[in-house]
A and B are shown apart, each in its own frame.
Chain A
Amino acid sequence: MATAEVSTQKTLKVQRFKPSDNPTNTFLTDEKGVWAWMTTVDHKKIGIMYLVSVAIFFAVGGALAILLRTELLTPAKTFIEADTYNQLFTLHGAIMVFFVLVPSIPAALGNFIMPMQLGAKDVAFPKLNLASFYIYVLGAIFTFIALAKNGLDTGWTFYTPYSTQSTSSVIWITMGVFILGFSSILTGTNFITTIHKMRAPGITWSKLPLNVWALYATSIIQVLATPVLAITVLLLTMEKWLGFGIFDPAIGGDPVLFQHFFWFYSHPAVYIMIVPGFGIISEVISTFSKKTVFGYWAIALSSLAIAFIGFLVWGHHMFTSGQSAVATTVFSFLTFLVGIPTGIKIFNWVTTLYKGSIKMDTPMLYVFIFLFLFSIGGFTGIMLGALSVNIHLHDTYYVVAHFHYVMMGGTLIALLAGLHYWWPKMTGKMYNETLAKISAVLIFVGFNVTFLPQFVMGAQGMPRRYYNYVDQFTSFHQTSTIGSYILGVGFLIILYYLMQSLFKGAKSPANPWNSRGLEWQATSPPDFHNFDHTPVIIHGPYDYHQPMEEFQLGLAVDTNGHDPESAKEIIDEERDQWKNYSLG
């Protein structure tokens, strides 16, 4: 048998396992039925359940956004009341942040892909994984109860003292967020342990896919920041319920302290949303350039650097809140630092493209959209971090545009890239490439038409969250509204062709993109245990200069009838053939 040195301590006997393009048993054919799905501990099924939930919440949040934009077509009332408007933008924000962006990439795509990239059969704590999902559902139920009762009109940030005085269902939502936080915490705990303890033989830290590095950094943030959110909303609940006097100035509390607590979570939470997106970009950009990622360690460690620096900058949300001048200055300086690791990533990705054999499939299209939109989001973020500029731009549409460029132009576009990239792996079906490209272009155009005007009107002084506006902003608002409709159409097309691919799509081979990633060496869709062997890794995940067969090794099965000689022969015979394949 062929042998491979996977560590200094032991030599493993390996043989090649070529994934079948026509698997008979997959995780979709095992454990069928609604009950089996609801009680499954399989990370792939849980990931898909998250994906469906996130998609539903995204549809709700998106519909709210369309309603908001439609109301803003005219300077005065268009068709909804001011109070309803307050509730709509609050819900749009709360749903998109807590129910879509935070769980979207780690819990949905990460759950599905990450254990496969590690060559593991499952995450370290599969039952805990299922529990996280149901905790997420429970949090959602609390939120819907709040909706059914009085709604919420505080904005997604729940600032005191308004949140302690508001007659809307603040307590229901804060309890919902509290519960949701546990889902996030448990997922993070699970992922960190999985990445440390569940790696297949040969996957050293330097051979870890960058997606896993990104999820690792994300999990660290989740574990460190989310508990603080939990205690904050608990204190806020107590403040409103019993009058604790910690946050409410009328009874001796300090509202700025609430903002400190809130942003200690919520600023790192921004990185919980964006860092997993970075991971997807790294994977896709390498696969579609057929080239090793430039600066592997720079990209891997800059994720950790972002995670760390992300904890030091929360006060830049509070420049006009009355915090001390000392803190303001320090926070402003630290904010600029975040630009460094982010810039490192962008430069390394662009350099990866250099002299690559670039194939502009849909996932790659989204990567380019990401690079463009996220760079704008990042630059405007640096501008907002500058104190004097911030005083002028604080709470204007400029801020709204900035974080939509980061959150939507960054996270959501990366999510779409990942979804299109791994869709064949998850479902075993190909989607309609033409429609996919059309919708990508629509989303790119619609996005910019929606949010570019918001930079301009924000700089001219249009405050965020306003129901009415002065006439001079009419044309900006109307352009923005039209853009949001284009965006909506783009997303509807995605929904259409993805559904179509599920039922009528062409069958996907095991590795349609010729990726070297370990997850592509499983069948599409994967086996119930991901691999029917224990994978052994000898090359890095982006070593496109190595032949494909060397990425398909697994621990040799002693009882399969092959003697060592014939197993070796299989590899040698097919070596040349695979070399051609991987180059072509």
Chain B
Amino acid sequence: MANHSHAHPTHLQHHFVDSDQQFEASKMGMWVFIVNEILFFGGLFCAYIVFRAWYPELFTMAAKELSTVWGAVNTVVLIGSSLTVAMAIRSAQKNQKRGIEINLLITIALACVFLLIKYFEYTHKFHLGIFPGESLYTYEGIDHPLAHVFFSIYYMMTGIHALHIIVGIGLMIWIYIRARRNEFSSEYYTPVEITGLYWHLVDVIWIFLFPLLYLIE
């Protein structure tokens, strides 16, 4: 084969012609996957919009139960983690192995902080009797017959988002281990780039969840 006539770099899979094709294909694949994710969350946002248009007063009343402060803190935490992931990619592009590792560790730590805050928010609500679903919901502080619907949407949106965070932490640990093994360089850092794109997406979704759920007057 013509393209087998010279040595291949070890990271290059056999069905690609060169590193560039592999990198561009992987990145485009991730973008198509992001399209999936947008439509996946889109269904939830659609339910949110339909119910908010029907019952604006329900959303105003129920959102008071959510802590604006902790929501804002979590937003900043995620923005910080997005920044460190971008820095990790930059380190990879500049062949700085330590940089990749440190930035990934900070990102993982920030993601854990996010989940911890989320955990306290959830348990606080469970304590009040605010559970997802009509059968479990017992809180009486909101004077609206459909209060449980708001929190169903809230739990579904934030829950699936949290699930993405957990997956993201897993991905980043995997990338961290590979970085420790010296697998990345300016010639090959595709997995770092791809994971970064995923993580930024998770950040972007939270950027919309925050004002839509926490910041309703």
Q: Which residues of A contact B (CB under 8 A)?
A: 120-122, 124-126, 128, 185, 188-190, 192-193, 196-198, 223-228, 230-232, 234-235, 238, 241-246, 251-254, 257, 261, 264, 529, 532-534, 554-559
Query: CB distance B133 to A242 under 8 Å?
Result: yes
Query: CB distance B134 to A252 under 8 Å?
Result: yes
In the complex, chain B residues whose CB is within 8 Å of the CB of A559 = 5
Given contacts A227-B39, A243-B134, contact A196 B28 (CB under 8 A): yes
Query: CB distance B24 to A238 under 8 Å?
Result: no
Instruction: State the main secondary structure of chain B at its contact with A.
Output: helix
Q: Quick one: which of A121, A192, A235, A251 contacts B148, CB cutoff 8 A?
A: A251
Query: CB distance A197 to B24 under 8 Å?
Result: yes
> Does B43 touch A at the CB level, under 8 Å?
yes
Chain A residue nearest to B149 (CB atoms) is A245
Binds A, one of B46-54, B73-81, B88-96, B113-121: B46-54
Query: CB distance A244 to B149 under 8 Å?
Result: yes
In the complex, chain B residues whose CB is within 8 Å of the CB of A252 = 134, 145-146, 148-149
Query: CB distance A190 to B2 under 8 Å?
Result: no
> Does B37 touch A at the CB level, under 8 Å?
yes
Q: Quick one: which of B13, B39, B145, B153 contacts A228, CB cutoff 8 A?
A: B39
> Does B132 touch A at the CB level, under 8 Å?
yes
Nearest CB in chain A: distance from B5 CB, A: 6
* A121 vs B135: C-alpha distance when bound (angstroms): 54
> Does B36 touch A at the CB level, under 8 Å?
yes
* A120 vs B24: C-alpha distance when bound (angstroms): 16
Nearest CB in chain A: distance from B161 CB, A: 13
* A121 vs B13: C-alpha distance when bound (angstroms): 11
Nearest CB in chain B: distance from A407 CB, A: 24
Query: CB distance B149 to A246 under 8 Å?
Result: yes
Nearest CB in chain B: distance from A425 CB, A: 20
Given contacts A230-B40, A534-B2, contact A122 B133 (CB under 8 A): no
* A246 vs B3: C-alpha distance when bound (angstroms): 56
Nearest CB in chain B: distance from A241 CB, A: 8
> Does B67 touch A at the CB level, under 8 Å?
no
* A482 vs B40: C-alpha distance when bound (angstroms): 44
Chain B residue nearest to A197 (CB atoms) is B25
In the complex, chain A residues whose CB is within 8 Å of the CB of B134 = 242-245, 251-252
Query: CB distance B152 to A245 under 8 Å?
Result: yes
* A231 vs B28: C-alpha distance when bound (angstroms): 24
> Does B167 touch A at the CB level, under 8 Å?
no
* A228 vs B32: C-alpha distance when bound (angstroms): 15
Chain A residue nearest to B5 (CB atoms) is A558
Given contacts A197-B24, A227-B42, contact A243 B14 (CB under 8 A): no
Query: CB distance A228 to B43 under 8 Å?
Result: yes
Query: CB distance A245 to B148 under 8 Å?
Result: yes
In the complex, chain A residues whose CB is within 8 Å of the CB of B131 = 242
In the complex, chain A residues whose CB is within 8 Å of the CB of B51 = 246
Given contacts A231-B40, A251-B148, A252-B145, contact A257 B50 (CB under 8 A): yes
A-B contact count (CB 8 A): 136
Nearest CB in chain A: distance from B132 CB, A: 6
* A427 vs B69: C-alpha distance when bound (angstroms): 65
Which residues 104-120 in B have Cβ within 8 Å of A in the complex? none
Of the A-B pairs whose beta carbons lie under 8 Å apart in the complex, a sample of 29, sorted by A's number, is A125-B26, A189-B33, A190-B29, A192-B28, A193-B25, A193-B32, A196-B25, A196-B28, A197-B25, A223-B32, A223-B36, A227-B39, A228-B40, A231-B40, A234-B156, A238-B132, A242-B133, A242-B135, A242-B136, A242-B152, A244-B148, A244-B156, A246-B149, A246-B152, A252-B134, A257-B50, A534-B1, A534-B2, A559-B5
In the complex, chain A residues whose CB is within 8 Å of the CB of B136 = 242-243
Chain B residue nearest to A258 (CB atoms) is B47
Chain A residue nearest to B32 (CB atoms) is A189
In the complex, chain A residues whose CB is within 8 Å of the CB of B166 = none
In the complex, chain A residues whose CB is within 8 Å of the CB of B132 = 238, 242, 244
Q: Quick one: which of A197, A225, A235, A241 contacts B156, CB cutoff 8 A?
A: A235
* A243 vs B136: C-alpha distance when bound (angstroms): 8
> Does B123 touch A at the CB level, under 8 Å?
no
In the complex, chain B residues whose CB is within 8 Å of the CB of A122 = 15
In the complex, chain A residues whose CB is within 8 Å of the CB of B153 = 246
Nearest CB in chain B: distance from A7 CB, A: 14
Which residues 123-137 in B have Cβ within 8 Å of A in the complex? 131-136
10 A-B pairs with least C-beta separation: A242-B133, A231-B43, A227-B40, A243-B134, A197-B25, A244-B152, A121-B15, A555-B2, A122-B15, A227-B39
Query: CB distance A243 to B15 under 8 Å?
Result: no
In the complex, chain A residues whose CB is within 8 Å of the CB of B24 = 197
Given contacts A228-B42, A534-B2, contact A126 B15 (CB under 8 A): yes
> Does B7 touch A at the CB level, under 8 Å?
no
Q: Quick one: which of A198, A227, A244 contacts B133, CB cutoff 8 A?
A: A244
Query: CB distance B156 to A238 under 8 Å?
Result: yes
Query: CB distance A192 to B32 under 8 Å?
Result: yes
In the complex, chain B residues whose CB is within 8 Å of the CB of A534 = 1-3, 17
In the complex, chain A residues whose CB is within 8 Å of the CB of B138 = none
In the complex, chain B residues whose CB is within 8 Å of the CB of A234 = 156
Q: Quick one: which of A197, A243, A246 contacts B135, CB cutoff 8 A?
A: A243
Query: CB distance A533 to B2 under 8 Å?
Result: yes
* A468 vs B38: C-alpha distance when bound (angstroms): 45
Nearest CB in chain A: distance from B146 CB, A: 4
Nearest CB in chain B: distance from A268 CB, A: 11
* A257 vs B46: C-alpha distance when bound (angstroms): 10
Chain B residue nearest to A558 (CB atoms) is B5
* A232 vs B2: C-alpha distance when bound (angstroms): 49
> Does B186 touch A at the CB level, under 8 Å?
no
Q: Quick one: which of A124, A230, A261, A555 contacts B29, CB cutoff 8 A?
A: A124
> Does B44 touch A at the CB level, under 8 Å?
yes
* A130 vs B122: C-alpha distance when bound (angstroms): 38
Contact with A along B1-31 (1 / 0, CB 8 A): 1110100000001110100010011101100
Nearest CB in chain B: distance from A53 CB, A: 23
Q: Which of A126, A228, A242, A559 has the most CB of B within 10 A?
A: A242
Given contacts A185-B36, A224-B35, contact A245 B15 (CB under 8 A): no
In the complex, chain B residues whose CB is within 8 Å of the CB of A227 = 36-40, 42-43
Nearest CB in chain B: distance from A140 CB, A: 22
* A238 vs B134: C-alpha distance when bound (angstroms): 11
Given contacts A245-B133, A245-B149, contact A235 B1 (CB under 8 A): no
* A331 vs B51: C-alpha distance when bound (angstroms): 22
Query: CB distance A261 to B46 under 8 Å?
Result: yes
Query: CB distance B21 to A120 under 8 Å?
Result: no
In the complex, chain B residues whose CB is within 8 Å of the CB of A532 = 1
In the complex, chain B residues whose CB is within 8 Å of the CB of A529 = 1, 14-15
Nearest CB in chain B: distance from A220 CB, A: 9
| Further pairs besides A231-B44, A235-B43: 8, Cβ < 8 Å | A224-B39, A228-B43, A231-B40, A231-B41, A244-B149, A244-B156, A261-B43, A264-B43
Nearest CB in chain B: distance from A232 CB, A: 6
